Amino acid sequence: MSFDRPCESDAVPDALSRLSASESRLVALTTHLHAQGFDVKLTNNGLRVRNPNAPGCCDDSPVLSDVINCRRRTEDGGRLWFFNSAREPIAEADRIEDAVMWVKGRLTPRDAAEVRD
């Protein structure tokens, strides 16, 4: 091992280093939500989150889902925030756990939550 070259584990993949701040926050949220059992996919429209265990409303939406975006919130001095598909603020983008809790509450049917208690 040479001290003049970084270890492979110290290198940042090029694709990750080119992400914007909002994209980086969505990637972090993706990781946390996936660990909670949600189906997640980054798309051009944002982070699509689906609960595979929660029935949706209709044929077009067979499971509960939402699309999360990350953008600056002018009412909060331009800080990055997560927003749902209805453009409602979820949580400041630095507060990943708060966003995860919001998604879990939104995409978990009430009767399923009562069964677990």
- DSSP calls for 37-89: T-EEEEETTEEEEEEEEEEEEETTEEEEEEEEEEEEEGGGTTEEEEE-TT--E
- Nearest-10 Cα torsion for 84, 87, 90, 96: 60
In a domain, 4, yes or no: no
How many residues are there in the chain? 117
In a domain, 114, yes or no: no
In the chain, the amino acid numbered 110 is R
Q: Tell me the per-residue pLDDT of 15-42, one tens digit each, with 9 for 90 and over.
A: 556 889 999 999 999 999 999 999 999 9
In a domain, 47, yes or no: yes
C-alpha 61/C-alpha 67 separation (Å) is 13
In a domain, 40, yes or no: yes
In a domain, 13, yes or no: no
Give percent of the chain with pLDDT exceeding 70: 79
In a domain, 115, yes or no: no
At 13, is the pLDDT very low, low, confident or very high (cuts 50, 70, 90)?
A: low
Q: 63 or 46: which carries more pLDDT confidence?
A: 46
In a domain, 85, yes or no: yes
Across 38-54, b (16+ Cβ under 10 Å) vs e yields bebeeeeebbbbbbeeb
Q: Given a cut of 90, is residue 112 above it in pLDDT? A: no
In a domain, 78, yes or no: yes
Residue range(s) defining the domain that contains residue 45: 18-109
Domain count, the chain: 1
Q: 114 or 49: which carries more pLDDT confidence?
A: 49
